[in-house]
Amino acid sequence: MRIEGHIEKINSLEGTLSKLDDGEDHETIVELCMLISAHYINAALHHTGRLRPDKDIKHNKLPGVIKREEYFDEKSIEISELFRELEEMRPSQIYGTGKNGGTAKRAKSIYLDIKKFCMGIINV
């Protein structure tokens, strides 16, 4: 997906995220934060030229690839760990142990950290 496509998806998903309640919609919030973050990361990688415009890295592969390939230089480990944390939140939300807004708040915090970092690269 090209950068413009990622930005369109980001805008759409962020619009949906803004309508949700942390307590009632925690499962969906975690999923959206993961998806939005994946779009931001892929767009940033396209912008830097480290990823071809016609290729994306799937969300479940992002933490390992970012860390191994050091796509974000000295920030690679930090971004990899943030995204990995989002990925690890998903099963507890979907399968039952995360039943409050705390996880949703943490997911939003991680997504906003990833967004800030990637927006510094993308400059849109």
User: pLDDT value at position 123?
Assistant: 84
Sorted by where each begins, the domain ranges of the chain are 3-122
User: pLDDT value at position 116?
Assistant: 98
Write the secondary structure of the chain as one string of H (helix), E (strand) and C (coil).
CCHHHHHHHHHHHHHHHCCCCCCCCHHHHHHHHHHHHHHHHHHHHHHHCCCCCCCCCCCCCHHHHHHHHCCCHHHHHHHHHHHHHHHHHHHHHHHCCCCCHHHHHHHHHHHHHHHHHHHHHHCC
User: pLDDT value at position 98?
Assistant: 58
User: pLDDT value at position 97?
Assistant: 59
User: pLDDT value at position 90?
Assistant: 84
User: pLDDT value at position 66?
Assistant: 96
Q: pLDDT per position in the chain (124 positions), as tens? A: 999 999 999 999 999 999 999 999 988 999 999 999 999 999 999 999 999 999 999 999 999 999 999 999 999 999 999 999 999 988 665 655 556 688 899 999 999 999 999 999 998 5
